A and B are shown apart, each in its own frame.
Chain A
Amino acid sequence: MNENEHMSATARRDRVLRILLPILTILVGGVIWHLVVRINDIPPYVLPGPGLVARTLIADWATLWDSLLVTLVTTFQGLLLALIGGVGLAILFNLSRLVEYAFYPYAVILQVTPIVAIAPLLLIYLPQHLAVLACAWIVAFFPVLANTTLGLNSIDHNLRDLFRLCGATRWQVLFRLKLPAALPYMLEGLKIAGGLSLIGAVVAEIAAGSAGAGSGLAYRIAESGYRLNIPRMFAALLLLSIAGIVIFFALSALSHLALRRWHESAIERES
């Protein structure tokens, strides 16, 4: 076997392991869960086994699917607004230092105040749907803002000088230099924001749920909790974390697609 074949065989085995191993550990976790419930004879209203959770997921699919859609729509709206708001604000900060000095503190305040504490307040002032959306937006926009700001400031100084020599306007510098240079940072921020937007939506739905209103997946969890329908609670929780994983991978794939031709982070090195 020559060197090259050897390398590619190792690479192939590595790729298979990367997919197989997580599946295996999850399966093992499921089996242990099942055994713990079975051996200790734990009643389903304390801890349902994986089989029961799966059966509940199928039985309640119609309700859960509708609720999942509600939560996902809120999450994506929050993410979209976070992207627009975060990038827009980062551009504004970049164009004017004074605007940055004046408004950056607000961004930080929104970021550091726990969303759990803000959600009940927003529910008082806003219609329920808007309050949930606002929560998703608040937690999601900061990573987009912070990363884009960093990206806009990380341009190559010589390239900036070259633009100056060519007599470029500030808009040309923004659109042809700063924004493309900031793209990898922005996408990284978006990846973080995706998970956070889901969390923001869930937190607000739980808060809304305690007021007896709502239709999202997190509301279903709260509602099932009140009714001691623990298997359904687990089923909704399972859906929620699958949704989170899918969002993360979708945003990673988007980032990879956008950067694969040029950015170091997206390039697979051939050895």
Chain B
Amino acid sequence: MSGAAIVRLSGVGKTFANGTAAIERLDLDVREGEFLTLLGPSGCGKSTALRMIAALSEPTRGTVSWSDANGRGLAPGTIGFVFQEPTLKPWATVAGNVALPLKLKGGDAGQIAARVSDALARVGLSDFAGSYPRELSGGMKMRVSIARALVTDPKILLMDEPFAALDEITRFKLNNDLMAVSSALRMTVVFVTHSVFESAFLSNRIVVMTSRPGRVFAELTIDAPYPRAEAFRTSPEYAAFCRRASDALSQAMESRPMEAKAVEARP
């Protein structure tokens, strides 16, 4: 189900001006139509990698290249981004927030309204179009944020730990809904998380990263068919995927103290 690479990171490194080496030699292809998860401990450079994929940040080494199926570069508006916080404009209604990317591009008001109500329907918030963000729960705000990312029909959806701040019940619910939306739209998604369960439920492919500096540690393929239903969560298959991802993650995290020990051992 996954095709050509639409984003390619080759030999990418990122050292911040303060000297922090967040990422070192990252090679990663994002393939058309796949659900790719970057899994790793906090501080391993997942957000940094995602921001470079979105061209919000420049690599200090290596290259990031984008192309659609026809080999052309990605235009603005073809990337949907969901941040860890809902990042809504508090002064605008739910509909106003979702309409933002379309309004920035300009266009017919009637058409914008139609697409906004489509996007709101997708995330189940049609009844809240006129509400203000402060009147919504954390989970609902996140849905608004997702609707805003979907409203432009992006080529690629980037999500940076979107559900990390939510309680487990809300998180499962949103995982199910994201599963439904992304498989219905056949979208390319790059999803960042530190939750093994979330990554095994959602992804085609999991890239496990190690920290300081960030690197790819392991890659797992989850070949269960889409769309995955709630029943998948309790299947032995899913449990096995979770165990594999969890093992990879703990090895990735152990690889750090070992390095530290090696440093200490020096005279």
Residues of A within 8 A of B77 (CB): 165-167
Q: How many residues of B contact A (CB 8 A)?
A: 24
Whether A167 pairs with B104 at a CB distance below 8 angstroms is yes
Closest partner residue, chain A, to B87 (CB atom)? A158
Whether A167 pairs with B85 at a CB distance below 8 angstroms is no
Whether A263 pairs with B56 at a CB distance below 8 angstroms is no
Is the CB of A65 closer than 8 A to any CB of chain B? no
Task: Name B124-147 residues within 8 Å CB distance of A.
Answer: 132-134
Residues of A within 8 A of B103 (CB): 176
Is the CB of B89 closer than 8 A to any CB of chain A? yes
Closest partner residue, chain A, to B78 (CB atom)? A165
Whether A165 pairs with B105 at a CB distance below 8 angstroms is no
Q: How many residues of A contact B (CB 8 A)?
A: 22
Whether A262 pairs with B132 at a CB distance below 8 angstroms is yes
Is the CB of B90 closer than 8 A to any CB of chain A? yes
Residues of A within 8 A of B87 (CB): 156, 158-159, 162
Which of B90, B92, B100, B134 sits near A166, CB closer than 8 Å?
B100
Interface string of B78-103 (1 = CB under 8 A from A): 01010101010111100000001101
Closest partner residue, chain B, to A264 (CB atom)? B134
| Alpha-carbon distance between A206 and B81 when the two chains are bound, in angstroms | 60
Whether B54 pairs with A165 at a CB distance below 8 angstroms is yes
| Known A-B contacts A167-B76, A262-B91, A263-B90; A162 and B81 likewise in contact (beta carbons under 8 Å) | yes
Task: Name B49-97 residues within 8 Å CB distance of A.
Answer: 51, 54, 56, 75-77, 79, 81, 83, 85, 87, 89-92
Residues of A within 8 A of B79 (CB): 165
Is the CB of A180 closer than 8 A to any CB of chain B? yes
Which residue, of B79, B134, B152, has the highest number of chain A Cβ atoms within 10 A? B134
Is the CB of A168 closer than 8 A to any CB of chain B? yes
Is the CB of A261 closer than 8 A to any CB of chain B? yes
Is the CB of A14 closer than 8 A to any CB of chain B? no
Whether A165 pairs with B89 at a CB distance below 8 angstroms is no
| Alpha-carbon distance between A176 and B104 when the two chains are bound, in angstroms | 9
Residues of B within 8 A of A183 (CB): 91
Is the CB of A267 closer than 8 A to any CB of chain B? yes
Interface string of B35-55 (1 = CB under 8 A from A): 000000000000000010010
Which residue, of A159, A162, A167, A263, has the highest number of chain B Cβ atoms within 10 A? A162
Q: In the assembled complex, how far is the CB of residue B185 from the closest CB belonging to chain A, in whole angstroms?
A: 19
Residues of A within 8 A of B75 (CB): 167
Is the CB of A163 closer than 8 A to any CB of chain B? yes
| Alpha-carbon distance between A162 and B76 when the two chains are bound, in angstroms | 11
Which of B85, B104, B105, B134 sits near A262, CB closer than 8 Å?
B134
Residues of A within 8 A of B89 (CB): 159, 177, 180
Closest partner residue, chain A, to B75 (CB atom)? A167
Whether B91 pairs with A267 at a CB distance below 8 angstroms is no
Task: Name A132-178 residues within 8 Å CB distance of B.
Answer: 156, 158-159, 161-168, 172, 176-177
Q: Which residues of A contact B (CB under 8 A)?
A: 156, 158-159, 161-168, 172, 176-177, 180-181, 183, 261-264, 267
A-B contact pairs, 10 of them (CB 8 A): A156-B87, A158-B87, A161-B81, A165-B77, A166-B104, A167-B75, A168-B104, A176-B104, A180-B89, A180-B92
